Amino acid sequence: MIWNRTKECMDREQMRALQSERLRKTVDRVYHNSPFYRDKMQSLGLTPDDIQSIDDIVKLPFTTKDDLRDNYPYGLFAVPISQIVRLHASSGTTGLPTVVGYTRKDLSIWSEMIARCLSAYGTSEADIFSVAYGYGLFTGGLGMHYGVEKLGATVIPMSTGNTSKQIQLLRDFGATSMACTPSYALYLAESIENAGLSVDDFKLKRGIFGAEPWTENMRKEIEAKLNIDAYNIYGLSEIMGPGVSHECECKNGSHIIEDHFIPEIVDPITKLPLPYGEKGELVFTTITKEGMPLLRYNTKDLCYLIDEPCPCGRTNIRMSSIYGRSDDMLIIRGVNVFPTQIESIILEMQELEAHYMIIVDRVNNLDVFEVQVEVKAEYFSDEMSKMVGIKKKIAQKIHSVLGLNPTIKLVEPRTLERSEGKAKHVIDNRKL
């Protein structure tokens, strides 16, 4: 079913006109309500009058995750905090989270976006839907939750973890749909098997997966193991959260909610716009957001745009799946991890050298990672308890910043490989 035919199947010319009008309003609003954007525009010699249509978008300044970090926590909000009704946050580069704020209208648009996505997957009021994304600061849980309610299906606010309980409730409650990360879906499939259960004990028909990259092979595996249809959902907290784009029954690219976000692809080096079909960095401009509107936010996600008509009837253009990132951000168990976060923890500790290696892998379909770090000669000891103490300290610090539990391996000074060029700090063994 198409939830919002007017917006999802709009004639392309009409869509451009709508985007142009909303872009003009957004630029006007941020110029007058956001000192951050006024400064940025003034330094480029721009006034709102310079932006008349979507073609002028290329004149506007880019926004990056660093801008959000530098203006922590509320510096990019374009309304007084009294109008913000919800905050979300995701991990940032220095341990400071990236904070996003929503007005009541923003939240209502977000729910409607997700209702559109869910309809495109064939979900309806009749469905029982388990949301197995994390509830809390992460946008996944609550974002999906209110979308499912908007659609009118029955929501099970399951959140993450507690796999045996998840399995029990999926079965006992007769869940027909669920949302989680694709790697968790595989883990779940395996756990169902290990528990001696069969997928025939379940009523699951479809799964909605996102928050991390996945491949066609993973889709096939999930579909076969759980006997469901698996669909992609894409999003990021800076722009809204999950639901910025979604697949339809064609499973061939994700339709972007274009009446709320204007997508562009830019060259990773020159930052110049690239035509449809060419791979580059995905950039979004929000055109209806009130709480935290962003101009040309560079997601650093690498993909391309597809403007060929889709057999499903939607005219909103599609994005390909994400095949990488142009920065060094890792996504481990759905958590954004920058190697610099781990580096700064290591540098803070006098016992450690500044040499480290992060090794990421996937075991039983779950991400695991190990941090190897050199201990300074004067601290290196044969005494087990001393070494264990250092390990614990590192593990606790990493947990408090990222909420993840890596294995820590201490090594003797000068044992990690030194590189001659740019230091290599990450080995990612996950086959994606």
Q: Are strands 128-131 and 177-180 parallel, antiparallel or unpaired?
A: parallel
Would you state the torsion angle of the CA atoms of residues 194, 130, 179, 365, taken in this order, to the nearest 10 degrees? -20
Given 102, 129, 138, 369, the residue binding ligand ADP (CB under 6 A): 138
Nearest to 289 by CA among 30, 15, 12, 7: 30
| Total of chain residues touching ligand ADP, rule CB under 6 A | 22
Nearest to 128 by CA among 65, 206, 244, 60: 206
Binding partner of residue 312 among ligand ADP, Zn ion, none, CB cut-off 5 to 8 Å per kind: Zn ion
Half-sphere exposure of 202 toward its Cβ, with a 13 Å CA cutoff? 29
Assess 67 for contact with ligand ADP (CB under 6 A).
Answer: no
Part in contact with ligand ADP (CB under 6 A); list of ranges 49-57, 133-141, 396-404, 417-425:
133-141
Binding partner of residue 176 among ligand ADP, Zn ion, none, CB cut-off 5 to 8 Å per kind: none
Binding partner of residue 129 among Zn ion, ligand ADP, none, CB cut-off 5 to 8 Å per kind: none
Which H or E run includes 8? helix 5-8
Assess 116 for contact with Zn ion (CB under 5 A).
Answer: no
Assess 338 for contact with ligand ADP (CB under 6 A).
Answer: no
Q: Dump the DSSP string for 396-424.
A: HHHHHHHS---EEEEE-TT-SPP-SSSPP
- Distance from CA of residue 320 to its chain's centroid? 15
Burial class of 18 by CB neighbour count within 10 A (0 to 12, 13 to 18, 19+) = middle
Helices assigned H by DSSP within 104-262: 104-120, 139-151, 163-172, 182-194, 216-226
Part in contact with ligand ADP (CB under 6 A); list of ranges 52-60, 132-140, 220-228, 263-271:
132-140
Assess 248 for contact with Zn ion (CB under 5 A).
Answer: yes
Cβ pair 192, 199 in contact under 8 A:
yes
Q: Which of residues 268-307 bind Zn ion (CB under 5 A)?
A: none
Part in contact with Zn ion (CB under 5 A); list of ranges 59-67, 165-173, 244-252, 362-370:
244-252
Helices assigned H by DSSP within 34-100: 35-43, 65-70
Please report where in the chains the tokens 């890596």 appear, as a residue: 406
Given 312, 329, 349, 387, the residue binding Zn ion (CB under 5 A): 312
**Residue 238 Cβ vs ligand ADP, minimum distance, rounded to whole Å:** 6
Token readout for 363 is 């075991």
Assess 139 for contact with ligand ADP (CB under 6 A).
Answer: yes
Q: Which of residues 185-224 bind ligand ADP (CB under 6 A)?
A: 210-213
**Residue 219 Cβ vs Zn ion, minimum distance, rounded to whole Å:** 16
Binding mask 381-420 for ligand ADP (x = CB under 6 A): ----------------------------------------
- C-alpha to C-alpha distances, 177 to 125, 134, 162, nearest whole angstrom: 11, 16, 18
**Residue 149 Cβ vs ligand ADP, minimum distance, rounded to whole Å:** 19
Binding partner of residue 37 among ligand ADP, Zn ion, none, CB cut-off 5 to 8 Å per kind: none
Applying CB under 5 A, the residues found at the interface with Zn ion are 248, 250, 310, 312, 314
In the complex, which residues of this chain contact ligand ADP (CB under 6 A)?
A: 90, 138-140, 210-213, 232-237, 241-242, 299, 301, 322, 325, 331, 336
